[in-house]
């Protein structure tokens, strides 16, 4: 089944404790992206990757890191999480940058206390 | 001005009626337009894409695009309770896909 797999689905952590949210797609998509979704603010892009070893900042990149060492994987790293990073996170992928629509992962609900 | 604007709703529509959702965008160079459906706590799901002016129909859904007026709409015919969700409009400009904040639709049985 073609899909984007995110893990974990739920995560509660403490301020400052490094964490990684994994994202993997099995559709051979070139483009991958991370979004956070907050009430009233909609989906905001954190980082995106046009292809392996090519990443760039989205609209809200502060406090996040990404890497794209393999085509299928695009992990999101929070080096020192803070409470304002409490949010619902989505990974998405596309054959090309947005031209064909995105396939989204199931989401990760992160709470930082 | 927001890049992609939607009325946040909630929009309440009786079961069996037509639901009409609207979206305006600011970038005249936008090329691709999408509608996503998102149930509460779930991920967005692509339901329609449209690339040229006019109407595009898929089952009970019709997407309408008017580039001159910079608006996109989604019509849902014979609305069902299962259509109750938030509908996100997304617009692709030169570099990225930008989402609206969504319209919450409630179908009243």
* Residue A39 touches partner B, C-beta closer than 8 Å: no
What does the pLDDT read at residue B5?
Answer: 94
What does the pLDDT read at residue A84?
Answer: 97
What does the pLDDT read at residue A40?
Answer: 85
Taking contacts as CB-CB distances below 8 angstroms, the residues of chain A near B29 are none
pLDDT greater than 80 at residue B94: no
Give percent of chain A with pLDDT exceeding 70: 97
Q: What is the mean pLDDT of residues A22-46?
A: 93
Q: How confident is the model at residue B31 (pLDDT cuts 50, 70, 90)?
A: confident
The overall average pLDDT reported for chain B is: 93
- Check B96 against A45: CB less than 8 A apart: yes
Q: What is the mean pLDDT of residues B6-25?
A: 94
How far is the alpha carbon of A59 from chain B, nearest alpha carbon, in Å? 10
pLDDT greater than 60 at residue A33: yes
Q: How confident is the model at residue B97 (pLDDT cuts 50, 70, 90)?
A: confident
Residue window 18-37, chain B: list those with CB within 8 Å of chain A: 31-32, 34
What does the pLDDT read at residue B8?
Answer: 83
Pairwise CA distance, residues A15 & B33, whole Å:
39
Q: What is the mean pLDDT of residues A12-28?
A: 97
In this complex, the residue of B32, B49, B101 whose CB is nearest that of residue A40 is: B101
- Check B45 against A104: CB less than 8 A apart: yes
What does the pLDDT read at residue A2?
Answer: 82
Give which of A48, A97, A98 to mutate to test B binding, by max B Cβ within 10 Å.
Answer: A98
∠ CA B46-A68-A106 to the nearest 5 degrees? 35
Taking contacts as CB-CB distances below 8 angstroms, the residues of chain A near B34 are 101
Pairing type for strands A10-13 and A108-112 reads parallel
Answer whether the bond into residue B10 is a cis peptide, omega within 30°: yes
Task: Render pLDDT for B39-85 as a digit per residue (tens, 0 to 9).
Answer: 998 999 999 999 999 999 999 999 999 999 999 999 999 999 999 99
Q: Is A37 in a helix, a strand, or coil?
A: strand
Q: Other CB atoms closer than 10 Å to residue B49's CB: what's the count?
A: 18
pLDDT greater than 80 at residue B25: yes
* Residue A104 touches partner B, C-beta closer than 8 Å: yes
Q: Is B100 in a helix, a strand, or coil?
A: coil
Answer whether the bond into residue A48 is a cis peptide, omega within 30°: no
Residue B39 structure tokens: 């149930």
The overall average pLDDT reported for chain A is: 94
In this complex, the residue of A42, A90, A101 whose CB is nearest that of residue B43 is: A90
* Residue B49 touches partner A, C-beta closer than 8 Å: yes
Q: How confident is the model at residue A96 (pLDDT cuts 50, 70, 90)?
A: confident
* Residue B2 touches partner A, C-beta closer than 8 Å: no
């Amino acid at each position: 089944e073609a899909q984007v797999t995110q893990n974990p689905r739920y995560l509660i952590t403490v301020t400052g404790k490094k964490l990684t949210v994994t994202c993997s797609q099995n559709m051979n998509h070139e483009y991958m992206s991370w979004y956070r979704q907050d009430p009233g603010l909609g989906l905001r892009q954190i980082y995106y990757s046009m292809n392996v070893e090519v990443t760039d900042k989205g609209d809200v990149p502060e406090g996040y890191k990404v890497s794209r060492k393999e085509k299928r994987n695009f992990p999101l790293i929070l080096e020192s999480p803070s409470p304002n990073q409490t949010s619902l996170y989505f990974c998405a992928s596309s054959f090309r940058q947005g031209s064909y629509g995105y396939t989204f992962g199931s989401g990760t609900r992160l709470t930082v206390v | 001005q927001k890049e992609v604007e939607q009325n946040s709703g909630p929009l309440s529509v009786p079961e069996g009626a037509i639901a009409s959702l609207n979206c305006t965008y600011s970038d005249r160079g936008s090329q691709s337009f999408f509608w996503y459906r998102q149930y509460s706590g779930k991920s967005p799901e692509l339901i329609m894409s449209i690339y040229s002016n006019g109407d595009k129909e898929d089952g009970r859904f019709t997407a309408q695009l008017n580039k001159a007026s910079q608006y996109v709409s989604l019509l849902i015919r014979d609305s069902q309770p299962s259509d109750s969700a938030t509908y996100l409009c997304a617009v692709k400009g030169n570099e990225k896909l930008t989402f609206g904040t969504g319209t919450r639709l409630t179908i009243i049985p």
